[in-house]
Amino acid sequence: MTYPLPAPRPQVGQPIRDLSTPLPLIDETKLEANIARVQSYMDGHGIAFRPHIKTHKIPAIAARQVAAGAKGINCQKITEAEVFADAGFEDLLITFNILGSEKHKRLVDLNTRISGLKVVADSEITVRGLSCAFSQSRPLTVLVECDTGGGRCGVQSPEAAIALAEMIAAAPGLTFGGILTYPKADSEDAVEAFFAATIAGLSARGIPCPIVSNGGTPSLFSAHKVTTATEHRAGTYVYNDRAMARSGHCSLDDCAMHILATVVSRPTPDRAILDAGSKALTSDLLGFSDYGMIVDYPEAVISGLSEEHGTVDLSKVSGRRPEIGDKVRIIPNHTCVVSNLFGIMTFHRDGFVTRVEEVAARGLVW
Amino acid sequence: MTYPLPAPRPQVGQPIRDLSTPLPLIDETKLEANIARVQSYMDGHGIAFRPHIKTHKIPAIAARQVAAGAKGINCQKITEAEVFADAGFEDLLITFNILGSEKHKRLVDLNTRISGLKVVADSEITVRGLSCAFSQSRPLTVLVECDTGGGRCGVQSPEAAIALAEMIAAAPGLTFGGILTYPKADSEDAVEAFFAATIAGLSARGIPCPIVSNGGTPSLFSAHKVTTATEHRAGTYVYNDRAMARSGHCSLDDCAMHILATVVSRPTPDRAILDAGSKALTSDLLGFSDYGMIVDYPEAVISGLSEEHGTVDLSKVSGRRPEIGDKVRIIPNHTCVVSNLFGIMTFHRDGFVTRVEEVAARGLVW
């Protein structure tokens, strides 16, 4: 025996019920169905589709999404984009206001390596910084981010979007690439109104607007109502989770990610303790009052988490209750943040491990 | 330029204000003071001290804790323990009910490599599993975990603790090591009563109880009230955080961890967006209604997080408000879960980087 021991790693062909826990698992069949269902919808409505890799952070999954028909990918950080550029992806949108000399330097490097790099901006400060960093010979494509009601980043009106687009179009080293929003769910009318007014103003000024980018999983199947959009971006759809099922986007049966956990203690008749805590499930509630759904015991409530323990209230469980050593599968409230906690992701089909992928773009500094 | 580019990494001597964000930082001066203050208290009361490495997951920090006088360390997972065993630590307690053949195998390996491995158990099932895995020639030391009111794992009464201790003492391959609790804060009387009754019962049966282990940071400075305890375990004290300051354990000025973040958008007069979201701060609320405290703008409220963005409500900020490009320092609600999100930790003294440590035991599978 030589030390350190290799990190524990599931083996292809192993039954998932034998795997050591806690461990997130992806069901290949559900994954494939999620990719196919959304791409088919986008194809049917003539909307270009750009999956957000934040959910999986695995180049092999993005390759499946592109093979199914996605036009390119969406990243949230330069370090994520670098990983996917290294893996051969060319059409790559980073939906972030990028500031600072260190990040600008890496962004310039990245723009020399791939043909389709794009970023967003929502302020003159961000645009001026990018313009100073980039050269006329290899300009960067910049989209204007619009706040259509989502309440995060973005210019606040079509007039402001038009003004910032004019600035980008005139800025040395930059190319105006279009407009973008990260909307709240079920706000297609607001997005359409904002986009239409912006596009009309740009058109009146003779500024082409090649990309009109809408986004989000929860109301993804209403994306066709935004007739001005040329593309849609979504991440969570690829795995799905409890919050997406609640939103109506999918059913609980469409959730491809389960966290496999073991009951490690049964201190009282009504209490079970799992080996999955906030370092496996995260504390994301997303409006729920508990920390995930136990598939095998839907009446059980994960009422509290410490870092490596989950406390389960069994008081409403009729019939058999889980015993020490039993393994259970949990649908997380939010799948994207679970991916970020694990160095590897284990895939299975019909209960047997098919592959183990590195979560290559996980946990990078920025 | 060769690709992939090396991951971004702060350089020793660099001013922290120049570092790219988001990035957690540890103030060496505060770290040293936190280690010294707690060890001095424990030494003054003759209580052996066992730091929990879950907070930092860095062998170099544990080495400082042991150099200051800690008797050993506390881990929560076998994979963490393996990292610290590789780094030379011998007195190592894993406070977890360990189940399953894969984990038993690694635990047996670990027990042959270090002299002071100890685990806990709170059920006959856990004890039987360990007994089957370990041999008479190299027995494993097992402590009984007691639920003294914390409501997580643990036997429910002194009588149950005594019965399980008898089982361990009689089990082939195991040695009874003592009793342990992870109590709720400010419950010293309940801990003392549980421990005293258990110790008396063990004594009456002629069973030695070498270790009596209490734990937790929030009421750490009341540890001397549990006169039966031989040792105390605590993790969070080493960095401290907003929740520890609220509990009265420390002041906000004793918080050694700050997350450095940049204002990347100012969409409205009352809204700022930071580049630190739930993948930098985590969603842990721990009873707060917001996601951390901005040191430089204490009236600002981090009202919401998405994965890579923090939304800040500035409506109560009198005077200057942060502008795009400004860097701010955030005291997290819960420091231990932040460590788990980053591959490296950056240390500084008086604003200049002193070292960068790998978070060696971070994000391991189990």
Q: At what angle do helices A28-44 and A59-67 cross, to 10 degrees?
A: 40
Q: Which of A75, A84, A97 to mutate against chain B (most B CBs within 10 Å)? A: A97
Examine the domain organization and report whether A55 and A122 are in the same domain.
Answer: yes
Does residue B239 have a pLDDT over 90?
yes
Residue B294 belongs to domain spanning: 16-25+250-358
Q: Is residue A88 a part of any domain in this protein?
A: yes
A352 touches B: beta carbon within 8 Å:
no
A215 touches B: beta carbon within 8 Å:
no
Examine the domain organization and report whether B236 and B260 are in the same domain.
Answer: no
Q: Sign of the C-alpha dihedral, residues A18, A23, A28, A29? A: positive
Number of structural domains in chain B:
2
Specify the pLDDT at position B306: 96
pLDDT tier at B238, thresholds 50, 70, 90: very high
Examine the domain organization and report whether A136 and A265 are in the same domain.
Answer: no
Q: Encode pLDDT of B266-279 as tens digits.
A: 999 999 999 999 99
Q: Is residue B42 a part of any domain in this protein?
A: no
pLDDT tier at B5, thresholds 50, 70, 90: low
Identity of the residue in A5, A123, A344 whose CB atom sits nearest the CB atom of B324 = A123
Q: β-pairing, B23-27 with A327-331?
A: unpaired
Q: Is residue A278 a part of any domain in this protein?
A: yes
Examine the domain organization and report whether A304 and A346 are in the same domain.
Answer: yes
| Residue closest to B338 by CA, chosen among B235, B220, B184, B214 | B235
Q: Is residue A115 a part of any domain in this protein?
A: yes
Beta-bridge mates of residue B49: B232
Return the H-helix or E-strand segment holding B190.
helix B188-204
What are the strands of the beta sheet with A116-121, ordered from one edge?
A: A48-51, A231-234, A211-215, A174-181, A140-146, A116-121, A91-97, A73-75
Examine the domain organization and report whether A66 and A204 are in the same domain.
Answer: yes
Q: Sign of the C-alpha dihedral, residues B46, B50, B56, B61? A: positive
Q: Encode pLDDT of B323-359 as tens digits.
A: 999 999 999 999 999 999 999 999 999 999 999 999 9
Examine the domain organization and report whether B217 and B271 are in the same domain.
Answer: no
Q: Encode pLDDT of B34-75 as tens digits.
A: 999 999 999 999 999 999 999 999 999 999 999 999 999 999
Non-local (6+) Cβ contacts of B216 within 8 A are: B182, B183, B184, B185, B233, B234
CATH of the domain at A354: 2.40.37.20
φ, ψ for residue B130, nearest 5 deg: -65, -40
CB contact under 8 A, A3 and B86: yes
Distances (CA, A) of A189 to A107, A108, A362, B149: 35, 37, 35, 53
Residues of B numbered 94-133 whose beta carbons fall under 8 angstroms of chain A's beta carbons: which are they? 96-97, 99-100, 102-103, 106, 109, 113, 122-123, 125-126, 129
Does residue B199 have a pLDDT over 60?
yes
A336 touches B: beta carbon within 8 Å:
yes
A270 touches B: beta carbon within 8 Å:
no
Cβ pair B217, B171 in contact under 8 A:
no
φ, ψ for residue B178, nearest 5 deg: 140, -160
B282 touches A: beta carbon within 8 Å:
yes
CA distance B44 to chain A (A): 30
CA distance A71 to chain B (A): 24
Examine the domain organization and report whether A110 and A227 are in the same domain.
Answer: yes
Does residue B236 have a pLDDT over 80?
yes
Specify the pLDDT at position B3: 56
Q: Is residue A62 a part of any domain in this protein?
A: yes
φ, ψ for residue B197, nearest 5 deg: -65, -40
Show residues of chain B in contact with A154, CB under 8 Å: 265, 267
Return the H-helix or E-strand segment holding B175.
strand B174-181
Q: Which residue has the tokens 């996917």?
A: A84
Specify the pLDDT at position B342: 92
> Mean of the per-residue pLDDT values for chain B?
96
* Mean pLDDT to the nearest integer, B189-208: 98
Specify the pLDDT at position A362: 87
Specify the pLDDT at position A1: 47
Read off the DSSP letter of residue B182. -
Cβ pair A361, A80 in contact under 8 A:
yes
Show residues of chain B in contact with A22, CB under 8 Å: 366
Please tell me the distance from the alpha carbon of residue A331 to that of residue A48, in angstroms, as a whole number.
30
CB atoms within 10 A of CB A296: 12
Cβ pair B312, B294 in contact under 8 A:
yes
Does residue B299 have a pLDDT over 60?
yes
Helices of type H across chain A: 28-44, 59-67, 78-86, 101-113, 124-133, 158-170, 188-204, 242-247, 278-281, 335-339
Show residues of chain A in contact with B284, CB under 8 Å: 278, 283
Residues of A numbered 151-190 whose beta carbons fall under 8 angstroms of chain B's beta carbons: which are they? 151-156
Q: β-pairing, A293-294 with A327-331?
A: antiparallel
Identity of the residue in B3, B266, B275 whose CB atom sits nearest the CB atom of A86 = B3
Q: Hey, what are B50's tokens? A: 């066992």
Specify the pLDDT at position B86: 95
Distances (CA, A) of B269 to A156, A308, A312, B284: 11, 41, 43, 27
Identity of the residue in B336, B343, B363 whose CB atom sits nearest the CB atom of A341 = B363
pLDDT tier at B2, thresholds 50, 70, 90: low
Distances (CA, A) of A40 to A219, A239, B338: 16, 16, 39
Compare all CA atoms of chain B with the CA of A10 and give the residue at the minimum distance: B365
Examine the domain organization and report whether A309 and A341 are in the same domain.
Answer: yes
Please tell me the distance from the alpha carbon of residue A309 to that of residue A324, in angstroms, as a whole number.
14
| Residue closest to A146 by CA, chosen among A225, A78, A199, A106 | A199
Examine the domain organization and report whether A267 and A206 are in the same domain.
Answer: no
Given a cut of 50, the residues of chain A with pLDDT beneath it are: 1
pLDDT > 90 in chain B, percent: 95
- Pick the last residue of a domain from B207, B240, B273: B240
Q: Is residue A365 a part of any domain in this protein?
A: no
Please tell me the distance from the alpha carbon of residue A299 to that of residue A318, in angstroms, as a whole number.
8
φ, ψ for residue A96, nearest 5 deg: -150, 145
B147 touches A: beta carbon within 8 Å:
yes
CB contact under 8 A, A285 and B283: yes
Q: Is residue A30 a part of any domain in this protein?
A: no
* Mean pLDDT to the nearest integer, B15-41: 97
pLDDT tier at B262, thresholds 50, 70, 90: very high
Q: Encode pLDDT of B155-185 as tens digits.
A: 999 999 999 999 999 999 999 999 999 999 9
- Pick the last residue of a domain from A240, A264, A287: A240
Show residues of chain B in contact with A113, CB under 8 Å: 3
CA distance A48 to chain B (A): 24
Examine the domain organization and report whether B306 and B327 are in the same domain.
Answer: yes
pLDDT tier at B1, thresholds 50, 70, 90: very low
Q: Hey, what are B18's tokens? A: 């120049």
Is ipTM > 0.90 here? yes
Return the H-helix or E-strand segment holding A91.
strand A91-97
Examine the domain organization and report whether B171 and B62 are in the same domain.
Answer: yes
Q: Is residue B323 a part of any domain in this protein?
A: yes
Does residue B209 have a pLDDT over 90?
yes
- Written as one letter, the residue type at A280 is A
CATH of the domain at B154: 3.20.20.10
Q: Which of B57, B180, B283 to mutate against chain A (most A CBs within 10 Å)? A: B283
CB contact under 8 A, B366 and A23: yes
Identity of the residue in B147, B264, B282 whose CB atom sits nearest the CB atom of A267 = B147
CB contact under 8 A, B97 and A264: yes
CB contact under 8 A, A125 and B324: yes
DSSP B64-112: HHHHTT---EEESSHHHHHHHHHTT--EEEEEEE--SHHHHHHHHHHHH
Examine the domain organization and report whether B214 and B268 are in the same domain.
Answer: no
CB contact under 8 A, A151 and B273: no
Q: Sign of the C-alpha dihedral, residues B246, B251, B253, B256? A: negative
- Pick the last residue of a domain from B206, B240, B274: B240
Q: Encode pLDDT of A141-199 as tens digits.
A: 999 999 999 999 999 999 999 999 999 999 999 999 999 999 999 999 999 999 999 99
Residues of A numbered 25-84 whose beta carbons fall under 8 angstroms of chain B's beta carbons: which are they? 54, 76-77, 79, 82-83
The number of C-alpha atoms within 13 Å of B354 and in the hemisphere containing its C-beta is 11
CB contact under 8 A, A366 and B96: no
